């Protein structure tokens, strides 16, 4: 394993806070970039103090999004602070920020000014909405973005309200998109010698992950129905189906209270989003354990093994079951039958049986199970890292694995821990640093 990391030598001014920006710069730090987190003196990133589990110690919210970074406190609204930032810009490769709209400009660091200071600079921003969007003045947090990007309207159950995902589709997902943009701009700069602006709007990053839901909207516009959704009625073979409400003689499944499609993509509960129907199924103990479930997928070509696995060999040749199209109208009855088979098996036992039949499935895992999963510990996806005030903390490590790079996760910095060090690297003497401290610029 090489000790040189691919991003060694890339210096990043990390002007980010909360989650979207910090997730991006943390990943770049894991891969070798020198990430200097610039924080307001005395306060720092708001997540340092949000949802604390230990009084007066950086909260896990902060530590889990800011490992491998250095922290410089700097008031960039003070003239002395602006001078420090100017020096830093001249020496850095990338500035990443996720302030509210216009904040960097109000600070005096417009794109034009930054280019004057360093034409090679890459300025990367996360905002809620893209530049010029009719909502581009809005401040945005995670769930706002999930609503704006199409995730909420398509998540949840048809008889419930729009629902947000626990996964940070608005925040960390946007940070990951931005990281791809930054790396692309770094490679572009190798060809042109020039920096550029990179922006990723949270709405766009969510929408990018909701691509298949947009696919469904386009299909719905054309067909009037979506065959893989639970709203699909019992008698899809009738070509008049788009006008289905006119045919009340065809009873609908009681579990699909709508039973018809409107002109927008509905919430599909736990339905599989692709051509493979799937559902969350109850296992032994579901009555008392809210996570005694597995996700079960009915992959088209795996139908025969599924029938064998669940003890229904006769379904292999039954015309009502033999093709995916034939199965679709009664897919929920098929899932109910599988649930019957699962009734005496824990989620882990079930998966151990089903894996032998090559059936795509997984236990529904809790955060506690994931935290203690030996495989995740062994792969470095869950790591324990030292921290100066906490002792140590667990965090989620790099989800990306390399053959010649092992991201080594180090603790998050204390507020201003590297202020003197970074200022000295910029050429400030001890006395000058003392003056900056006195004026509260750092």
Site for ligand COA in 249-308 (CB under 6 A): none
Residue 180 Cβ vs ligand COA, minimum distance, rounded to whole Å: 17
323: phi > 0 → left, psi -120 to 50 → alpha, else beta; which?
Answer: beta
Exactly one of 9, 79, 106, 180 binds ligand COA (CB under 6 A); which one?
Answer: 106
Q: Decide whether 129 or 293 has the Cβ nearer to ligand COA.
A: 129
Alpha carbons 322 and 156: distance in angstroms, whole number: 30
Listed in sequence order, the residues at least 6 apart from 318 whose beta carbon sits closer than 8 Å to its beta carbon are: none
Residue whose tokens read 């996360």: 126
394: phi > 0 → left, psi -120 to 50 → alpha, else beta; which?
Answer: beta
Cα distances (Å, whole numbers) of residue 331 to 154, 262, 286, 288, 308: 20, 21, 21, 26, 17
Q: Which of 14, 34, 171, 204 is catalytic?
A: 171
Paired residues of 97 in beta bridges: 15, 125
- Per CB under 6 A, which region of 70-78, 113-121, 221-229, 302-310 contacts ligand COA? 70-78
Alpha carbons 227 and 398: distance in angstroms, whole number: 37
Q: Which of 380, 389, 388 is nearest to 409 (CA)?
A: 380
Count CB neighbours of 355 within 10 A: 13
The secondary structure of residue 412, as a DSSP letter, is P
Q: Binding of ligand COA at residue 440 (CB under 6 A)? A: no
Query: How many residues form the binding site for ligand COA (CB under 6 A)?
Result: 24
Q: Decide whether 20 or 27 has the Cβ nearer to ligand COA.
A: 20
Residue 97 Cβ vs ligand COA, minimum distance, rounded to whole Å: 8
CB 245 within 8 A of CB 184: no
Cα distances (Å, whole numbers) of residue 36 to 284, 331, 417: 50, 53, 11
Exactly one of 52, 80, 87, 107 binds ligand COA (CB under 6 A); which one?
Answer: 107
Exactly one of 7, 10, 18, 283 binds ligand COA (CB under 6 A); which one?
Answer: 18
Q: Where are the alpha helices (DSSP H) in 254-411?
A: 303-309, 324-327, 331-342, 347-354, 367-371, 374-379
Q: Binding of ligand COA at residue 127 (CB under 6 A)? A: yes
Alpha carbons 442 and 433: distance in angstroms, whole number: 8
Q: Decide whether 128 or 278 has the Cβ nearer to ligand COA.
A: 128
Residue 343 Cβ vs ligand COA, minimum distance, rounded to whole Å: 43
Exactly one of 140, 176, 334, 338 binds ligand COA (CB under 6 A); which one?
Answer: 140
Q: Which of 43, 21, 81, 32 is nearest to 422 (CA)?
A: 81
Alpha carbons 135 and 133: distance in angstroms, whole number: 5
Paired residues of 34 in beta bridges: 11
Q: Decide whether 39 or 228 has the Cβ nearer to ligand COA.
A: 39
Site for ligand COA in 159-198 (CB under 6 A): 171
Q: Decide whether 61 or 261 has the Cβ nearer to ligand COA.
A: 61
Q: Is 14 a catalytic residue?
A: no
Q: Binding of ligand COA at residue 126 (CB under 6 A)? A: yes
Alpha carbons 72 and 40: distance in angstroms, whole number: 9
Q: Binding of ligand COA at residue 139 (CB under 6 A)? A: yes
Q: Which residue of this chain has its Cβ atom nearest to ligand COA in the complex?
A: 100
Rg of the Cα atoms in the chain: 26
Residue 100 Cβ vs ligand COA, minimum distance, rounded to whole Å: 3
Exactly one of 26, 63, 98, 231 binds ligand COA (CB under 6 A); which one?
Answer: 98
Both tokens of 204, joined, read: 């766009």
Residue 72 Cβ vs ligand COA, minimum distance, rounded to whole Å: 9
- Per CB under 6 A, which region of 95-103, 112-120, 260-268, 373-381 contacts ligand COA? 95-103
Q: Binding of ligand COA at residue 100 (CB under 6 A)? A: yes
Exactly one of 32, 128, 195, 324 binds ligand COA (CB under 6 A); which one?
Answer: 128
Q: Binding of ligand COA at residue 74 (CB under 6 A)? A: yes
Catalytic residues: 171
Q: Which residues bind ligand COA (CB under 6 A)?
A: 18-21, 38-40, 74-77, 98-100, 103, 106-107, 126-128, 139-141, 171
């Amino acid at each position: 394993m090489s000790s040189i990391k691919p991003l060694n030598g890339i210096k990043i001014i990390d002007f980010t806070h909360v989650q979207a920006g910090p997730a991006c710069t943390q990943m770049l730090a894991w891969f070798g970039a020198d990430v200097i987190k610039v924080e307001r003196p005395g306060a720092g990133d708001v997540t340092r103090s949000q949802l604390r589990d230990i009084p007066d110690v950086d909260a896990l919210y902060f530590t889990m999004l800011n490992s491998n970074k250095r922290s410089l406190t700097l008031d960039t609204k003070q003239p002395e602070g602006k001078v420090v930032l100017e020096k830093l810009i001249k020496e850095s490769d990338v500035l990443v920020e996720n302030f509210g709209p216009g904040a960097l400009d109000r600070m005096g660091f417009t794109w034009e000014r930054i280019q004057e200071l360093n034409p090679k600079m890459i300025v990367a921003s996360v905002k809620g909405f893209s530049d010029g969007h009719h909502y581009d003045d809005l401040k945005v947090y995670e769930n706002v973005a999930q609503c704006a990007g199409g995730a909420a309207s398509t998540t949840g159950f048809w008889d419930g309200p729009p629902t947000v995902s626990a996964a940070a589709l608005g925040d960390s997902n946007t940070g990951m998109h931005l990281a791809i943009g930054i790396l692309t701009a770094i490679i572009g700069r190798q060809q042109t010698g020039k920096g550029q602006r990179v922006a990723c709007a949270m709405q766009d990053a969510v929408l990018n992950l909701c691509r298949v839901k947009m696919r469904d909207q386009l299909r719905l516009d054309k067909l009037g129905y979506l065959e893989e959704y639970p709203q699909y009625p019992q008698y899809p073979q009738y070509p008049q189906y788009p006008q289905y409400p006119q045919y009340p003689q065809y009873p609908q499944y009681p579990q699909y209270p709508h039973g018809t499609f409107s002109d927008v993509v509905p919430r599909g509960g736990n339905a599989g989003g692709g051509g493979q129907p799937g559902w969350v199924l109850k296992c032994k103990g579901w009555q008392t354990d809210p996570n005694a479930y597995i996700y079960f997928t009915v992959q088209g070509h795996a139908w025969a093994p599924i029938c064998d696995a669940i003890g229904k060999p006769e379904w292999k040749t039954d015309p009502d079951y033999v093709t995916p199209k034939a199965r679709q109208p009664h897919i929920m009855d098929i899932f109910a039958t599988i649930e019957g088979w699962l009734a005496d098996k824990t989620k882990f036992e079930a998966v151990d049986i089903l894996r032998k039949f090559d059936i795509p499935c997984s236990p529904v895992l809790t955060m506690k199970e994931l935290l203690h999963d030996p495989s995740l510990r062994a792969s470095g996806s869950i790591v324990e890292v030292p921290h100066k005030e906490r002792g140590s903390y667990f965090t989620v490590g790099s989800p990306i694995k390399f053959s010649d790079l092992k991201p080594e996760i180090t603790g998050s910095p204390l507020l201003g821990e590297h202020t003197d060090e970074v200022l000295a690297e910029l050429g400030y003497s001890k006395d000058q640093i003392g003056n900056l401290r006195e004026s509260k610029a750092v």
